[in-house]
Amino acid sequence: MDMTEGKPLGLLAVFALPLLIGNLFQQAYNLADSMIVGQLLGANALAAVGATGSISFLFFSVFNGISGGCGVVTAQLFGARRDELVYRAIANSAYIMLGFALLTGSVAFAMVPTVLTWMGTPAEILPDAITYMRMTSASVPLIAIYNYASSMQRALGDSRTPLYFLVVSCVLNVGLDLLFVGVFRMGVFGAAFATMLSQLLAGAGSLLWAFRTNPYFRLNKQSLAFDRSIAKRAVRLGLPLALQWSLIAVSTTALQSTVNTFGAAAMAAYTAVNRLEQLVQQPFGSMSMALSTYAGQNMGAGKTNRIRLGFRDSLLAMIAVAVFMTLLMQIFGENLVGLFVREKDVIALGGRALKITSLFYIFLGIIYVSRGVLNGVGDAVFSFINGIVEILGRVGLPLLLLSVTAAGVWSIWITAGVTWLLAGISCIIRYVSWRKKTEITTPGEAS
């Protein structure tokens, strides 16, 4: 899809819809694990799976950031119609992403017990948490295969192909979860193993299909050669993104450590709420990915005014989504938490938590829209600013709330909401700064 012509919101909606469906199925991996583990193995097993979430995010941050940098470079070259360089970007992105995936997966596998112990993971769930996290770490290269294929295809305007393979693998994941956990009684190891096999199918299928059907993946010997300039550019854009995600991951890890001090019930509620809010964030995340491609292509084509129009239209759309999601959580929060666990105290805790965090969903929409545009235009400084704000919010606020208020366990979810508020404000400030610069440099550009 060429996103440098046509109405911005229409293009973004068409491009984002397959991404949204794909992201929802991607979340089905975690939801299937959580719901099956919680219902069949109990709240402690669910807490063990949940305790690994922030750690996984931390170790995957470097790889995810580099992946984003590679996608931005490819999208900008595609928008500039520099086809020969697009071929080289696709080949060199594979080298870069696989290298970082092997590095992060190996480090994560080795450090799992140390980090989980440092976080204060309760002794009764520590063995299951280590098992689940080590299986997740071993699957990083498999995740890299799918992320590589999908990020390159999105950069070229194809958001549908990766979806088809993801849907099949998610259906397989649910079936394998039920088989390994419910029938073979393999515990959390079985849930993680089911996810690993499903990710392998999605990655291998998507990549093989891309090589077979997409002309940009038909690389010749010259395209396969290592290109220092493209690799340097991808890493230069990717490292700030990696830093942003790493800082966010550190902040969520610190918050998870606070959650752990309140015991297994709070951890189970926190896990259930996180799983639900991962679903809530999928429309925002899908629009953000669409905006990155849209902004990258239009930046390459020199059409910055179209980027501004895309930001405006998508922000209004995401605010409407946020209002709907807020009403949903306010009314049906406890019912939704009850899908994960049977324990009434956990359900009540999670339901009230959703009433707190859902009041801040509008700021999530602002964050994702701004992040999509600024990442797409290659604003490296923004990534660092955004990560710092997340650190200050998730690390500093719990300490403040626990020391000077009687918020207790509710400080966990108050912290999450206020952090979104602060990050949203910083995103808008940075976007306005970028917009003013482009208005000065391209005053006569047509829309």
Q: Please spell the DSSP secondary structure of 303-334, one letter per residue.
A: -HHHHHHHHHHHHHHHHHHHHHHHHHHHHHHH
**Token pair recorded at residue 348:** 């009540």
Whole-angstrom distance, CA of residue 155 vs CA of residue 299: 13
Contacts of 229 (CB under 8 A, 6+ apart): none
Amino acid identity, position 281 = Q
**How many CB atoms within 10 Å of residue 344?**
10
- Alpha helix ranges (H) inside 126-186: 126-138, 140-155, 161-177
Check whether 426 has a pLDDT greater than 50. yes
Q: So what's the pLDDT on residue 87?
A: 93
3-state SS class at 156: coil
Q: Residue 264 in contact with residue 43, Cβ under 8 Å?
A: yes
Q: So what's the pLDDT on residue 446?
A: 44
Where is average pLDDT lowest: 24-38, 286-300, 335-349?
Answer: 24-38
3-state SS class at 135: helix
Q: How many residues does the chain have?
A: 447
Check whether 221 has a pLDDT greater than 60. yes
3-state SS class at 377: coil
Question: CA separation (Å) from 391 to 53, 64, 314, 386, 422?
Answer: 17, 18, 27, 9, 11
Between 347 and 340, name the one with better pLDDT. Answer: 347
**Token pair recorded at residue 35:** 């719901």
Comparing CA positions, the residue from 190, 179, 216, 181 lying closest to residue 77 is 216
b/e 282-291 (16+ beta carbons within 10 angstroms → b): bbbbbbbbbb
Whole-angstrom distance, CA of residue 442 vs CA of residue 444: 6
Q: Looking at residue 410, what DSSP letter applies?
A: G
Q: Residue 430 in contact with residue 379, Cβ under 8 Å?
A: yes
**How many CB atoms within 10 Å of residue 304?**
19
Please provide the average confidence, as pLDDT, over all residues in the chain. Answer: 86
Whole-angstrom distance, CA of residue 217 vs CA of residue 89: 10
**Please, what is the Cα angle at 75 between 87 and 71, to 5 degrees?**
85
Q: Residue 364 in contact with residue 420, Cβ under 8 Å?
A: yes
Mean pLDDT score, 182-188: 89
**How many CB atoms within 10 Å of residue 35?**
19
**How many CB atoms within 10 Å of residue 261?**
14
pLDDT digits (tens, 9 = 90+) for 103-143: 888 988 999 899 888 878 888 889 999 998 999 898 888 88
Question: CA separation (Å) from 16 to 22, 318, 418?
Answer: 10, 12, 28
Question: CA separation (Å) from 372 to 138, 246, 277, 315, 368?
Answer: 29, 17, 19, 11, 6
Element at 343 (helix H, strand E): none
Provide the Cα torsion 27, 392, 107, 200; round to 10°. Answer: 10
Backbone Cα Rg of the chain:
21
3-state SS class at 407: coil
3-state SS class at 443: coil
Q: So what's the pLDDT on residue 94?
A: 92
**Per-domain boundaries in the chain:** 8-441
Mean pLDDT score, 312-339: 94
Residue showing tokens 């088809």: 164
pLDDT digits (tens, 9 = 90+) for 29-81: 666 667 788 888 887 887 787 778 777 777 777 777 888 889 889 988 998 88
Contacts of 365 (CB under 8 A, 6+ apart): 284, 315, 318, 319, 321, 322
Where is average pLDDT lowest: 236-250, 257-271, 282-296, 299-313?
Answer: 236-250
